[in-house]
Homo-oligomer: A and B are copies of this chain.
Amino acid sequence: MAHSHDIPTDLTRNQELVLGTLTASAGPLSAYDILDKLRGDGLRAPLQVYRALDKLVDRGLAHRLESLNAFVACADMHCHRKGLIAFAICESCGKVDEFADEVIEERLGTWARTGGFKVERTTMEIRGRCADCLAKAA
Protein backbone atom coordinates (compact mmCIF):
# COMPACT_ATOMS: atom_id res chain seq x y z
CA MET A 1 0.00 0.00 0.00
CA ALA A 2 1.02 3.56 -0.65
CA HIS A 3 2.50 5.27 2.34
CA SER A 4 1.86 8.92 3.09
CA HIS A 5 5.58 9.65 3.07
CA ASP A 6 6.02 8.61 -0.51
CA ILE A 7 7.38 11.33 -2.72
CA PRO A 8 4.98 12.19 -5.55
CA THR A 9 6.19 10.95 -8.89
CA ASP A 10 4.93 13.81 -11.00
CA LEU A 11 7.45 16.35 -9.94
CA THR A 12 9.65 18.00 -12.52
CA ARG A 13 13.38 17.61 -12.37
CA ASN A 14 13.95 20.95 -10.67
CA GLN A 15 11.16 20.40 -8.20
CA GLU A 16 12.56 17.00 -7.34
CA LEU A 17 16.05 18.38 -6.84
CA VAL A 18 14.82 21.16 -4.59
CA LEU A 19 12.57 18.89 -2.55
CA GLY A 20 15.39 16.37 -2.23
CA THR A 21 17.70 19.06 -0.91
CA LEU A 22 15.15 20.22 1.63
CA THR A 23 14.40 16.69 2.74
CA ALA A 24 18.08 15.89 3.18
CA SER A 25 18.67 18.98 5.28
CA ALA A 26 18.54 18.96 9.05
CA GLY A 27 17.03 22.43 9.13
CA PRO A 28 15.51 25.20 7.07
CA LEU A 29 17.34 26.42 3.97
CA SER A 30 17.12 29.72 2.16
CA ALA A 31 16.52 29.66 -1.57
CA TYR A 32 20.14 30.65 -2.08
CA ASP A 33 21.35 27.87 0.23
CA ILE A 34 19.43 25.46 -1.95
CA LEU A 35 20.83 26.97 -5.10
CA ASP A 36 24.38 26.58 -3.84
CA LYS A 37 23.78 22.90 -3.09
CA LEU A 38 22.39 22.33 -6.56
CA ARG A 39 25.03 24.05 -8.69
CA GLY A 40 26.56 20.68 -9.33
CA ASP A 41 23.26 19.53 -10.80
CA GLY A 42 23.21 22.35 -13.29
CA LEU A 43 21.09 24.94 -11.52
CA ARG A 44 22.43 28.42 -11.97
CA ALA A 45 19.80 31.04 -11.21
CA PRO A 46 17.72 31.90 -8.14
CA LEU A 47 14.57 31.81 -10.20
CA GLN A 48 14.95 28.13 -10.91
CA VAL A 49 14.82 27.49 -7.21
CA TYR A 50 12.06 29.97 -6.44
CA ARG A 51 9.86 28.52 -9.15
CA ALA A 52 10.28 25.02 -7.81
CA LEU A 53 9.66 26.22 -4.27
CA ASP A 54 6.44 27.94 -5.32
CA LYS A 55 5.06 24.70 -6.65
CA LEU A 56 6.21 22.66 -3.70
CA VAL A 57 4.69 25.11 -1.25
CA ASP A 58 1.44 25.18 -3.24
CA ARG A 59 1.22 21.43 -2.96
CA GLY A 60 2.09 21.38 0.71
CA LEU A 61 5.30 19.45 0.16
CA ALA A 62 7.34 22.29 1.56
CA HIS A 63 6.65 25.23 3.82
CA ARG A 64 7.96 28.74 3.89
CA LEU A 65 9.07 30.10 7.25
CA GLU A 66 8.35 33.79 7.07
CA SER A 67 10.40 34.74 10.08
CA LEU A 68 13.51 33.14 8.60
CA ASN A 69 13.01 33.78 4.91
CA ALA A 70 13.68 30.09 4.53
CA PHE A 71 12.02 26.84 3.59
CA VAL A 72 11.59 23.35 5.02
CA ALA A 73 10.30 20.10 3.64
CA CYS A 74 6.93 19.18 5.10
CA ALA A 75 7.63 16.94 8.06
CA ASP A 76 5.05 14.29 7.36
CA MET A 77 2.29 15.37 5.06
CA HIS A 78 -0.19 15.36 7.91
CA CYS A 79 -1.06 18.91 7.22
CA HIS A 80 -1.86 19.41 3.61
CA ARG A 81 -5.55 20.00 4.11
CA LYS A 82 -5.45 21.62 7.49
CA GLY A 83 -5.71 25.36 7.50
CA LEU A 84 -3.30 26.22 10.22
CA ILE A 85 0.12 24.81 10.86
CA ALA A 86 2.34 26.09 13.62
CA PHE A 87 6.11 25.83 13.48
CA ALA A 88 8.39 25.63 16.48
CA ILE A 89 11.85 26.75 15.49
CA CYS A 90 14.85 26.10 17.72
CA GLU A 91 17.16 29.11 17.69
CA SER A 92 19.97 26.94 18.85
CA CYS A 93 20.07 23.95 16.50
CA GLY A 94 17.69 25.10 13.79
CA LYS A 95 15.38 22.15 14.08
CA VAL A 96 11.79 22.83 13.07
CA ASP A 97 8.83 21.00 14.52
CA GLU A 98 5.46 21.41 12.90
CA PHE A 99 2.06 20.79 14.40
CA ALA A 100 -1.59 21.49 13.78
CA ASP A 101 -3.89 22.47 16.62
CA GLU A 102 -7.67 22.49 16.30
CA VAL A 103 -8.17 24.56 19.42
CA ILE A 104 -6.07 27.38 18.11
CA GLU A 105 -7.68 27.14 14.73
CA GLU A 106 -11.16 27.22 16.20
CA ARG A 107 -10.27 30.14 18.41
CA LEU A 108 -9.00 32.00 15.41
CA GLY A 109 -12.19 31.22 13.55
CA THR A 110 -14.17 32.65 16.43
CA TRP A 111 -12.16 35.83 16.41
CA ALA A 112 -12.57 36.17 12.66
CA ARG A 113 -16.33 35.59 12.72
CA THR A 114 -16.70 38.21 15.42
CA GLY A 115 -14.84 40.85 13.49
CA GLY A 116 -16.10 39.92 10.05
CA PHE A 117 -12.60 39.07 8.87
CA LYS A 118 -12.22 36.41 6.21
CA VAL A 119 -9.12 34.33 6.95
CA GLU A 120 -7.21 33.16 3.91
CA ARG A 121 -4.05 31.87 5.47
CA THR A 122 -2.24 32.01 8.76
CA THR A 123 1.37 31.81 9.68
CA MET A 124 2.38 30.93 13.20
CA GLU A 125 6.02 30.63 14.10
CA ILE A 126 7.34 30.01 17.56
CA ARG A 127 10.96 30.77 18.31
CA GLY A 128 12.75 29.28 21.26
CA ARG A 129 14.83 26.29 22.35
CA CYS A 130 14.04 22.67 21.77
CA ALA A 131 14.18 20.08 24.53
CA ASP A 132 17.46 18.61 23.27
CA CYS A 133 19.24 21.94 23.27
CA LEU A 134 17.89 22.82 26.71
CA ALA A 135 19.18 19.51 28.04
CA LYS A 136 22.62 20.08 26.54
CA ALA A 137 22.82 23.59 27.97
CA ALA A 138 21.92 22.41 31.47
Contacts and interface: CB of A to CB of B under 8 A. Distances in A.
Per assembly, the copies of the chain total 2
A99 B117 CA distance: 13
B108 A104 contact: yes
A125 interface: yes
A111 interface: yes
Interface in A77-136: 86, 88, 90-91, 97, 99, 101, 103-104, 107-108, 111-112, 115-131, 134
Contacts of A119: 126-128
Contacts of A120: 91, 127-129
7 contacts: A67-B123, A88-B117, A97-B115, A103-B103, A117-B129, A121-B127, A124-B125
Given A115-B130, A116-B130, 18 more contacts: A66-B66, A66-B123, A91-B120, A97-B117, A101-B107, A103-B107, A104-B108, A112-B126, A119-B126, A119-B127, A120-B129, A121-B126, A121-B127, A123-B123, A123-B124, A123-B125, A124-B124, A124-B125
